[in-house]
Structure 1
Amino acid sequence: MEARIPKVYTYADYLELPQDARVELIDGVIYDMSPAPSRVHQEIVIELATLMKNYLKSSNKSCKLYTAPFDVVLIEEGQDEKQATNVVQPDISVICDKKKLTERGCVGAPEMIIEVVSEYNPSHDYIRKLNLYNKFKVKEYWIVNPNNQTILVYRLKDNEDYLPPEAYTFNDKVKVGIFEDLIIDFSQIKEVL
């Protein structure tokens, strides 16, 4: 009996999927995204996005902030965009290099990504995406867990690999490392949940 080699999916395949398909592509494997996010998940995303967007406007930063659904296509060196085998839709993406922006999203690593953990598949954010974002050199990756009210902050060391995570709770103030003067007070976010 002949062994079957699993298909490696690309961004070109991803673009052929039905518009309403809620999937991500990691290392050529299609992963279904969890059902519609919970109310608390959405509250956290909205609060974080609003705080960060207001900061970007008031400080005249040239960075852009996007919330899901927003395609982030991560390409290997020398790889054509359509050949990419990694397409994710982070809850929040901050992109400071406008050359990475396309009509559909971003091609290349954002400076910062925030994922709010889904109760349906936490390993997706804690393992798969952590490894993916480290590989593609996302400078800062936050994993916000509403269930245990914790935040893990991963930052690249000298553009190499992530340092061990800094751990916070929803009672803490967390500095955004890619900006010199932005601090998120999670106790304020906790109040609206």
Structure 2
Amino acid sequence: MEKLRIEFRPNYKFEDYLAWEGKWELIDGVPYSMSPSPTKKHQLVSANVGIQLNELLKNCSECQAFIALDWRINDEHDNNVFCPDNSVVCKPVTGDYIETTPELIFEILSPSTAGKDKEAKYIIYQHHGVKYYVIIDIESSTAEIFVLESGKYKNVTEENNGSFTFDLGKCRINFDFRSIWKTEK
């Protein structure tokens, strides 16, 4: 007689997440450690993205740029919390977390997160209506830009030395990808 094998899959909620020490993401109820910390190059590229977004949005009072601010997807499951490397939100953020869907998310690939960024986050961001999803590969100095069209992501370009205009509703920003690769003085 064959033994029945049952796999345990945790299903944690936002309330559980709040009690944990350290940096975590919660994807469909499964916790993922955000350690070790990102590399120097990863952090410098993220800082460059954030600086440029802040500069581009200074005349756009509706939108705000964030670096690594948790996004809680507050739905009936309440089991998703993401920490995008960079995001732009064009609705008020009144608490300690983003609780509305960002218009634009940048994720910077690292060996420990590449699979999640390209698969799970891609699917969930698409499902929850993130208009633009940018996946940055710091090793090849390229960025894949996905735009949400009719509920599905379409890869519109791969940039490393150009610019792309993001239409954020009341604001349009022309993002220069050349400036984000500068990581050495």
- Which residue in the other structure is 1:171 paired with? 161
Q: Unaligned 5+ residue runs, structure 2?
A: none
Whether 1:94 and 2:88 are equivalent positions in the alignment is yes
Q: Which amino acid aligns with 1:71?
A: D
CA distance in 1, matches of 2:164, 2:127: 24
Give the distance between the partners of 2:164 and 2:106, measured in 1 at CA: 13
Task: Tell me by how many angstroms 1:5 deviates.
Answer: 4.1
For each residue in 1:31-62, what CA deviation from the matched residue of structure 2 results, as whole angstroms up to 9, or x when unmatched?
112411111111111111111111111x2332
Work out whether residues 45 and 182 of structure 2, in 8 Å CA contact, stay in contact via their aligned partners in 1.
no
Return the letter of the residue paired with 1:171: N
Identical-pair percentage: 27
Amino acid at match of 2:178: S
Aligned ranges 1:103-114 → 2 under 5 Å: 103-114=95-106
Could you state the TM-score of these two structures normalised by the residue count of structure 1? 0.84
Q: Show the counterpart of 1:74.
A: 73
Provide structure 1 residue ranges, at least 5 long, that are not aligned to the other structure: none
- Residue aligned with 2:157, SS: strand
Task: Give how far 1:192 is off.
Answer: 4.1
- Specify the code of the residue in structure 2 equivalent to 1:152: E
Match of 2:134 among 133, 142, 145: 142
Query: 2:176 & 2:53 partners in 1: Cα distance?
Result: 11
AA partner of residue 137 (structure 1): G
Q: CA deviation at 1:154?
A: 1.1
Whole-angstrom distance in 1 between the partners of 2:7 and 2:60: 53
Which is helix-richer, 1 or 2? 1
Matched, 1:187 2:178: yes
Q: Distance in 1 between matches of 2:114 and 2:10?
A: 25
- Structure 2 CA distance for partners of 1:169 and 1:111, relative to 1, 3 Å: closer
Q: Does 1:60 align with 2:51?
A: no
Preserved CA contact (<8 Å) 1:45 1:116: yes
Note if 1:8 corresponds to 2:7: no
The secondary structure found in structure 2 opposite 1:188 is helix
What secondary structure sits across from 1:106 in the alignment?
coil
CA RMSD after TM alignment: 1.9
